[in-house]
A and B are shown apart, each in its own frame.
Chain A
Amino acid sequence: MNAPKRKLRVATTSLAGCFGCHMSFLDIDERILQLVELVEFDRSPITDIKHCGPCDLGIIEGGVCNAENVHVLREFRKNCKILVAMGACAVNGGLPAQRNHLDLRDILEEVYHTEPGLSGGGIPNDPELPLPLDKVHPIHEVVKVDYFLPGCPPPADAIWKFLTDLIAGRTPVMGHGLLHYD
């Protein structure tokens, strides 16, 4: 079989993440030139497209911590044939999920009322601001996810192996050293 002629369309985004996975993605360095021969980017920090259109592959960094994350994630799921959770936060909630044992009320009170800094302004009620969920969830708890690549962040070599496997139509297999959770 020949490789697909059409370039694969890929969208990426970060939800409750730090863009570290995107940075690690960029660490594939000059291999990105090989990659752009195979893929074109839809919504992504690289393109500044605001909404995801129909795509072959969607890559999500970060977990789900607020209403906007849910909307973006659903948009990706609706438009992408294959959805990938990339990095610790997308895979298990990661650092943001470490607030999950706290009551949201206590968190908001502490940030906006009792602790110095933002206190005094009151809890903001601006409709422009997305409302936080009571817990942070990994993305597989909100939509169906097809593939997972853990790591904080996953190393560039792992991302490269993972993507080239997927693009070539192979189930990605991460050998020792490429699969890690930290």
Chain B
Amino acid sequence: MSDQKTFLLDGREIPFEPGQTVMQAALTAGVFIPHLCYHPEFRPHGSCKLCTVKINGRPATSCTMPAQAGMEVESDTAEIRDKRRALVQMLLVEGNHFCPSCEKSGHCKLQALGYALGVMTPHFTHFFPDRPVDASHPEVLLDFNRCILCELCIRASSEVDGKNVFALSGRGLKKHLIVNAESGRLADTDFQATDKAAQVCPVGVILAKRKGFAVPIGQRPFDASPISAQAERYKPVAPAPKKEA
């Protein structure tokens, strides 16, 4: 017998390295757990709660929970799928998500999770918030209507780009993304289209200008297979090195 430590995920034995979270171990083993704020190159965040599982019968956030030998994790159960569906629906009504006119369609993780979980309707009453877009930057558009507050751009800008272009303000349902400028405009920050922060948005907030709809329908990342079959894309990797600001 090997001395590799393991835990059980929906009855399947998952090996893990010390220090790995349940999410990291599962993805490494090729088992997908739905997530939005987790990113293979960044420290876990634990805010979207899509990755909620039950560990030994108790709810837990799998992206922040350290793996331990012998734990029994339930993830793909009817009860948990139902809760995850409701979380996707909450995000859909919180912002303004109109997929037909969004350049991120087919590349969007929120949309892909909607498909994977069988979300047929936003279900709740829409909030229809008023969130003006910021088109000030020559190369990048910010459409806050689609922001799901995963903080990946904030983390990327601070931890990799060394810039702190993004931050959060407000509280509760009024929480929102802001940029690091007195004017509140992206053009007045040191943001560049080549920044890591420009690459990590799981939805359609941070968009390169003049590059929309480049990939034909049918060839987009989530056209051929559902996100749930693409665990290997999200395996943990070493964090990107921090650039000098």
Contact = CB atoms under 8 A, between A and B. Distances in A.
Interface string B117-149: 010111101101111000000000000000000
Nearest to B228: A176
Most interface-central of B111, B120, B122, B226 (chain A CB within 10 A):
B120
Interface stretch (B29-37, B46-54, B66-74, B93-101): B93-101
Contacts of B122: 91-92, 138
Nearest to A102: B130
A88 interface: yes
Given A88-B100, A176-B226, A149 B128 contact: no
A137 B121 CA distance: 13
B202 interface: no
A25 interface: no
A97 B115 contact: no
Contacts of A152: 99-100
B84 to A, nearest CB: 15
A95 B98 CA distance: 7
B26 interface: no
Contacts of A165: none
A88 B120 contact: no
A70 to B, nearest CB: 16
Interface string B99-112: 11110011000010
Contacts of B105: 181-182
Interface string B205-245: 00000000000010000010110000000000000000000
A135 interface: yes
Given A92-B92, A140-B123, A179 B100 contact: no
Nearest to A99: B128
A19 to B, nearest CB: 15
Contacts of B125: 141
Among the interface residues B96, B101, B122, which one has the most CB atoms of the partner chain A within 10 A?
A: B122
B115 A88 contact: no
A138 B118 contact: no
Given A98-B96, A176-B115, A180-B115, A93 B126 contact: yes
Interface string A136-161: 01101100010111101000000000
| Interface size class of chain B, counting residues whose CB lies under 8 Å from the partner chain | 20 to 34
Contacts of A88: 98-100
Contact of A179 (B96, B98, B120): B120
A149 B119 CA distance: 10
Interface in A115-150: 135, 137-138, 140-141, 145, 147-150
B121 A181 contact: no
A108 interface: no
Given A92-B92, A138-B126, A141-B125, A182 B100 contact: yes
Contacts of A173: 118
A88 B99 CA distance: 9
Contacts of A93: 126, 128
B98 A98 contact: yes
B99 A181 contact: yes
Contact of B102 (A100, A141, A147, A182): A182
Given A85-B121, A92-B92, A182 B106 contact: yes
Given A85-B121, A148-B121, A135 B99 contact: no
A176 B224 CA distance: 9
Given A97-B98, A148-B121, A150-B120, 7 more contacts: A92-B97, A92-B98, A101-B129, A148-B120, A152-B99, A177-B223, A181-B111
Identify the 10 closest CB pairs spanning chains A and B, nearest first.
A152-B100, A181-B99, A148-B121, A101-B130, A148-B120, A100-B128, A182-B105, A182-B99, A176-B226, A182-B100
Interface of A: 85, 88, 91-95, 97-98, 100-101, 135, 137-138, 140-141, 145, 147-150, 152, 173-174, 176-177, 179-182
6 contacts: A91-B122, A100-B96, A150-B121, A179-B120, A180-B115, A182-B99
